[in-house]
Structure 1
Amino acid sequence: MTSQAFMAQLTIGLISGCFYAMLSMGLAIIFGLLNIINFAHGAQFMMAAFLTWIGLTQLGPWLGRPDLQVGFWWALLLAPFLVGLVGMAIERVFLRRLYHLDHLYGLLLTFGFALVMEGLFRYGFGVSGQGYEPPELLQGPVDLGFMLLPKYRVFVVVASLLVCFGTWYLFERTKLGAYLRAGTENPRLLQGFGVNVPVLITLTYGFGVALAGLAGVLAAPIMQITPLMGGNLLNIVFAVVVIGGLGSIFGSILTGLSLGLIEGLTKVIYPEASTVVVFIIMAIALLVRPAGLLGREV
């Protein structure tokens, strides 16, 4: 394998790793602060991709104005916001009743929501893949020396890294992040200081879901948009969260990026193992450190 092919494959793996990191970070936030295993995360990722596709290609014809479209940059803001609102409604109406119960109840409920969402989109749009072109500003290639990489994929890497590390800084280095952590460890004490803990928890769940939505918008010009796109990705994302440590935001970012690179490299060295290498690493990590690489021991 030439050095150019090696670097090209690492670059492609980095793009996959960015999606793994963003999705697993949202899962880690929800579990770490709410103790809910959000099995609907993949469906919420899919929902944002479909909302973007609808806004860019279908909204105008539906309203009788073929020239009307939302635009990619507006969709990048609106789709995660709308998906986050749906998540907040789910948290307030359903999940709030389960916080005092075993984690299994939250997992089963969110799994049910995932099946309902996938079924609705499958009924409305079928199972054939949809897609759309990146915005005109991000079309065309960038010469990296060892390969020509589409501008849009460069944008995905930069935007994902900024969002990941910005979120980590928000939760780990700011006063708001301290409130969020305190709200899960001692909510009564925090409420005594005048903080509305239930609203804080709802906003946290909505933010974690919005991260999945943002990943869905970014992924839509790269992946085929189908009702099953989130479910197919969720297995790997759960493995990333487990390896990094349940509830560890930095662990999810680091593990997601690393596993994307490892998966990409495996496709060159031994392609048959590329679909299982993540789960092999997960098994080894759990044997060595059951709490995950950066998780806290119970």
Structure 2
Amino acid sequence: MELFFFQLLNGLGLGVIYFLLSVGLTITFGLLNFVNFAHGAFYMVGAYVTFVIVSLTGNFWLALLIAPLVIGTLAIALEQSVVKFSYVLEHKYQILVTLGVALMLQELVIMIWGPIGKNVSPPSSLAGIIEIGDFIYPKYRAFVIAFSALIAIVVWWGLEKTKFGALVRAGSENAQMVGLLGVNITRLFSITFGLGGLLAGLAGVLAAPLRGADPFMGVEALGIAFIVVVIGGMGSFLGALVGGLVVGVMQSVMSSVWPEGASLMVYAAMAAVILSRPRGLFGRA
């Protein structure tokens, strides 16, 4: 029972990271109707920026503050210089453009830091374990769960209770109409794209002490993000949250029950959702 509870908590930790990774992807698609294959690269670069800041300063908290802002700025710069010109193109061309951006970022990382992964140490204040009776759990993993839950609440509040969130939700229904009402839709697109990059970078920061930083983590993350979005439903905040938790818990629990089939069960769950609800659990028709 203790092992199951341990794996369940690990799954929640993975799930909230998957949520942060996926919510930006689903919001971007919901508003821009844009398929972003560079999203996993933002996650990867976030982990490497964390590695650099921690290596230079030894301060993980500084990385937690700065790295997401750096990735958000990078995302906006790429959107303004490359991505926005592909908004009017078919999805297959959008995939080619953003896949090219992702490969360029991956090769740039390999040129600078090499193909071997880098370890990132958690902050000393979160080293060690929490003991509750006979149950023990790593402090850093507990922090990831609590902090990501807080970020989820902040993102939900921003999307549901603010003017920006109302514009994003309205734009996801009819971006042309929002533009006709006098909203600078180009700026709204840029901010939304940057927010998606910021959240992916934040996921990379939180994941770095758990799995390190390596040049190929973006490809893995992109696959997971699309699974989460398919399960939860494209364009749905709640879907990204539920989908991330489902995938994270399933991966973690299955790794102790049937390690070889952990990934298989995730794809099986995605297939089951597609067959029963093609738009996802919470996606719009």
Tell me if TM exceeds 0.5. yes
Find the residue that maps to 2:137 and give its secondary structure. strand
Q: Which residue of 2 aligns with 1:31?
A: 29
Q: Which residue of 2 aligns with 1:136?
A: 124
Find the residue that maps to 2:130 and give its secondary structure. strand
Q: What is the distance in 2 between the residues matched to 1:33 and 1:144?
A: 44
Q: Which residue of 2 aligns with 1:295?
A: 283
Q: What is the distance in 2 between the residues matched to 1:7 and 1:72?
A: 28
Q: What is the distance in 2 between the residues matched to 1:10 and 1:187?
A: 40
Q: Residue 113 of structure 1: which of 101, 121, 124 is its match?
A: 101
Larger radius of gyration: 1
Q: Which residue of 2 aligns with 1:259?
A: 247
Please tell me whether the aligned partners of residues 86 and 97 of structure 2 are also in contact (alpha carbons under 8 angstroms). Answer: no
> C-alpha deviations, 1:175-232, integer Å up to 9, x for none?
2211122234444543454432211110110001100000111111111211111212
Q: What is the distance in 2 between the residues matched to 1:145 and 1:108?
A: 53
Q: What is the distance in 2 between the residues matched to 1:144 and 1:37?
A: 44
Runs of at least 5 residues in structure 2 that lack an aligned partner in the other structure: none
Please tell me whether the aligned partners of residues 18 and 203 of structure 2 are also in contact (alpha carbons under 8 angstroms). Answer: no
Q: What is the distance in 2 between the residues matched to 1:188 and 1:242?
A: 26
Deviates more, 1:167-176 or 1:285-294: 167-176
> C-alpha deviations, 1:70-128, integer Å up to 9, x for none?
72222112111111111101111222122222222222211111111111111211121
Q: What is the distance in 1 between the residues matched to 2:58 and 2:84?
A: 34
Q: Which residue of 1 aligns with 2:50?
A: 52
Closer/same/farther in 2, CA of residues 70 and 182 from structure 1, 3 Å limit: farther
Please tell me whether the aligned partners of residues 243 and 293 of structure 1 are also in contact (alpha carbons under 8 angstroms). Answer: yes
Runs of at least 5 residues in structure 1 that lack an aligned partner in the other structure: 60-68
- How many correspondences in the alignment? 285
Q: Residue 15 of structure 1: which of 13, 16, 29 is its match?
A: 13
> C-alpha deviations, 1:10-39, integer Å up to 9, x for none?
111111111111111111111111111211
Q: CA deviation at 1:270?
A: 1.8
The one-letter amino acid paired with 1:9 is Q
Closer/same/farther in 2, CA of residues 102 and 145 from structure 1, 3 Å limit: farther
Deviates more, 1:234-243 or 1:188-197: 188-197
Please tell me whether the aligned partners of residues 12 and 249 of structure 2 are also in contact (alpha carbons under 8 angstroms). Answer: yes
Find the residue that maps to 2:279 and give its secondary structure. coil
The one-letter amino acid paired with 2:193 is Y
> C-alpha deviations, 1:38-60, integer Å up to 9, x for none?
11111111101111111121x4x
The one-letter amino acid paired with 1:204 is T
Please tell me whether the aligned partners of residues 7 and 146 of structure 1 are also in contact (alpha carbons under 8 angstroms). Answer: no
Identity %: 42
Pick the structure with more helix per residue: 2
Q: What is the distance in 1 between the residues matched to 2:151 and 2:98?
A: 25
Please tell me whether the aligned partners of residues 37 and 103 of structure 1 are also in contact (alpha carbons under 8 angstroms). Answer: yes
Q: Which residue of 2 aligns with 1:75?
A: 63
2:149 is the alignment partner of 1:161: yes
In the TM superposition, 1:216-255 aligns within 5 A as 216-255=204-243
